[in-house]
Structure 1
Amino acid sequence: MSMFGDSLDKAVQRAFTRPIPRSAGARMRYLVKQLKSTQAVAELLAISQRQVERYVAGQAKTPRPRLAARLEAEVTHRWQPQIKAKARHNAATTAGIVIDTRARLGYTAPVGTTDQDRVRHLTVALPPQYAARLFDAQEQGAPDSELKEIAAKALKEVYFQDSGRRAGTLEEVRFTDIQHLEFDL
């Protein structure tokens, strides 16, 4: 499970204008329409083609928990792609992104400063260029460590250095022991 990637996805999903289909049959029909065949859906969900056909026809109604979770994830991933693209573009060009986190934060600085790590709860509005970096890295399949590094650089500039108005000698921000992480557009 990717903490940063999942949190970015949830932020974008809040832009949906309609909820995803609720029933298993409606979700299967949506996937069949998107992937153009029951065979492709069966391969995607690792079930038989006949089982997909049963859900589409309404003969099967309640999937097992693991299949229900996979089905929901796949439909959510494909749901309203234009709305998701518009929300990402808006965040990356004009609106920026808000990070709400409770984590251990500290920094590397010259000798004589108070750079001790401590747990902080921060809610910080990040400028659009950091939203663009996060979304670009996520689209390229970057691991959580890279997304965390981008967020740490953003917090360094916006929170610790106050966009260049203080702490100019700050070298590196440590962003560890994340207890809570949420992004919002």
Structure 2
Amino acid sequence: MVTVGEGLDKAVQAAFTRPVPKSAGARMRYLVRQLKGTRQVAQLLRVSQRTVERYVKDQIRKPRRDLAERLEREVHKRWQPQIRAQAKQTAATTGGIVIDTRARFGYTAAPGTTDDPRLRHLTVALPPQHAARLFEAQESGVGEQELRDIAAEALGEVYFRDSGRRAHGLEVEFSDLEHVEFEL
């Protein structure tokens, strides 16, 4: 399942200036430094404190699949927070964001117009105010459906209504999301 939240995270990760640690030991040491202790890392990853200590000392090198996924997710979430914040700030103030999506778009429009949903592939540059709304909503912890609604509203404004120059009153519905990518 493709999500808007994951797409936004990947776009921000493209701004990283250094590679994320690759080995389990390096990732575990990074988390121990960030969270200031093995106990906190153990609670975060739902493993024992002794297991964390073994990874830190490279006594264990290959984690189980579920632990490897949690470890990767937590490291990516915390990696280069200043670079991440700077990239979001740039997109929200000057740069905007590009959305590339393949989804079904339906419309609520005036009588006599076609409002049948159609599968479309769109690549649209969204202005900074839309990028700011997406990032603010993501940081406030809203659900995936609300992020999709914000993206649909932004696509409706920029692509379908052409920033208010046509199709006044057209409401865009964004469903059956097959693909979504963002680029800063």
TM-score after normalising by structure 1: 0.97
Cα deviation for residue 117 of structure 1 reads: 1.1
What corresponds to 1:120 in structure 2? 120
1:163 to 2:163 alignment: yes
C-alpha separation in 2, matches of 1:7 and 1:169:
29
Cα deviation for residue 115 of structure 1 reads: 1.9
Other structure's SS at 1:121 match:
strand
C-alpha separation in 1, matches of 2:62 and 2:93:
42
C-alpha separation in 2, matches of 1:160 and 1:41:
47
Query: Equivalences for 1:9-158 in 2 at 5 Å?
Result: 9-158=9-158
Cα deviation for residue 169 of structure 1 reads: 3.4
C-alpha separation in 2, matches of 1:128 and 1:139:
16
Task: Check 1:118–1:2 CA distance in 2 against 1; reply closer, same or farther (3 A cut).
Answer: closer
Task: Check 1:62–1:77 CA distance in 2 against 1; reply closer, same or farther (3 A cut).
Answer: same
Cα deviation for residue 2 of structure 1 reads: 7.3
C-alpha separation in 1, matches of 2:156 and 2:35:
43
TM-score after normalising by structure 2: 0.97
What corresponds to 2:183 in structure 1? 184
Greater mean alpha carbon deviation, residues 106-115 or residues 43-52: 106-115
Task: Report the count of equivalent residues.
Answer: 184
Greater mean alpha carbon deviation, residues 2-11 or residues 21-30: 2-11
Q: C-alpha offsets along residues 42-68 of structure 1, whole Å, 9 cap, x if unaligned? A: 111111111111111111111111111
Extract structure 1 runs of 4+ deviating beyond 3 A: none
Q: Which runs of 5+ in 1 are unaligned?
A: none
The one-letter amino acid paired with 1:49 is Q
Does the CA contact (< 8 Å) of 2:2 and 2:179 recur in 1? no
Identity %: 68
Other structure's SS at 2:70 match:
helix
Other structure's SS at 2:50 match:
helix
RMSD of aligned residue pairs (Cα, Å): 1.1
1:174 to 2:162 alignment: no
C-alpha separation in 2, matches of 1:85 and 1:128:
15
C-alpha separation in 2, matches of 1:112 and 1:70:
51
The one-letter amino acid paired with 1:104 is R
The one-letter amino acid paired with 1:93 is T
C-alpha separation in 2, matches of 1:36 and 1:2:
34
Cα deviation for residue 145 of structure 1 reads: 1.0
Q: Which runs of 5+ in 2 are unaligned?
A: none
